[in-house]
Amino acid sequence: MKAIVFKRPGVYAYEDRPKPQIVNDDDVLIKVLGVGICGSDLHILMDPPMHPAKPDIIFGHEYCGEVAAVGPAVKGLAPGDKVIVDPHPPCGHCNQCRSDRPGQCETLYCQQDTPWFEHGITRGIFQDGALTSFTCVPAMSVYKIDNDTPFELAALAEPLSCVGYAIEKLDIQAGDTVCVLGAGPMGLLFAAMAKANGARKVIVSEPHEFRREKALKCGATRTVDPTKEDLKQVCLDETDGLGVDHCIEAVGQMLQTAIDVVRPSGKIIMFGHDETALPQIRLADIVRKEITIFGGFLGKYYFEKTGHIIESGILPLEEIVSHTFPLSEYQKGLDLLRAGKAMKVIIYPEEYPDE
């Protein structure tokens, strides 16, 4: 089967790989339907890279598919079921998992003294992923979703799970005010979730006009071009001089801006992931304003809820997917994303060998 394979920083290949087979009793063979290109994929393909990955693995960790076959121990899944997949399930055995911190599982991104890929199990980054025709994963990673769900929306499950898991830390209440920094796919998902959770005002800061337009369709009540407007002043004007209740940093380098726009005792989610960012911040502002800052990373044990959110239609997910391409045109998706001319690009396989 054809596959997109990471070779080395800045280089991938479109090559043949063998179709995976069920080996373990709890394996599920999945016919891939759609795979999102993640911002981390772009970071991996930079030279030097901004995100680690294991050479010679099949790319693609944001995906949905259809069950093709199941191992003898699998229950609740059958051929023909449409499914979403958690590409980075916790092991359940390490000290972090056993201490109720599955998002910090030692098999994910938490190796402090060794290269991450030596122990990482995340599919599409450290193990074979889904930019191909078939993938085989343990049943614990697989969640059913309504068969009528469009594949391009179901493929948003992984990023949506991360957003949902993170935003619950803010405990947004009806009538709250929220500022989202950045209107890429993750920022748009945060804006949509904040509005769905009852925020009365959702202010989105984004320099690109077409992304600001998308934000208005995804729940934003006000957009700001930070290159032309004073974001802090806008947030003050929109909140009677107080500052917003919550700020979501979805860029990776703007923590000080988040600190500036929240009210005293406000809350921040630091979600943007930039391994190279070393921003300077005014620590006294955090102390004086008594701000609470949360980190947001992976959506652990959130996929069941994610499937229900997608099925409900409560979020305008169709506004976030801008392009779909066949696997052989993967480069087109990369080019559009790098040029800032796409939001979320979904890739789909063109053939399914030996079905």
Would you say residue 289 has pLDDT above 90?
Answer: yes
Both tokens of 244, joined, read 């917003």
pLDDT score of 112:
45
Cα–Cα distance measured from residue 17 to residue 279, given in angstroms and rounded to the nearest whole number: 42
Distances (CA, A) of 309 to 155, 303, 323, 331, 344: 13, 10, 22, 31, 18
Find the mean pLDDT for residues 214-222.
Answer: 97
Condensed to tens digits (0 to 9), the pLDDT of residues 162-173 reads: 999 999 999 999
In order, the DSSP letters of 175-234 are T-EEEEE--SHHHHHHHHHHHHTT-SEEEEE-S-HHHHHHHHHTT-SEEE-TTTS-HHHH
pTM of the model: 0.92
pLDDT band, residue 210 (cuts 50/70/90):
very high
Condensed to tens digits (0 to 9), the pLDDT of residues 238-260 reads: 999 999 999 999 998 999 999 99
Find the mean pLDDT for residues 257-281.
Answer: 91
- Domains in the chain and their CATH numbers? 2-87+122-156+320-348 (3.90.180.10), 163-295 (3.40.50.720)
CB 134 within 8 A of CB 30: yes
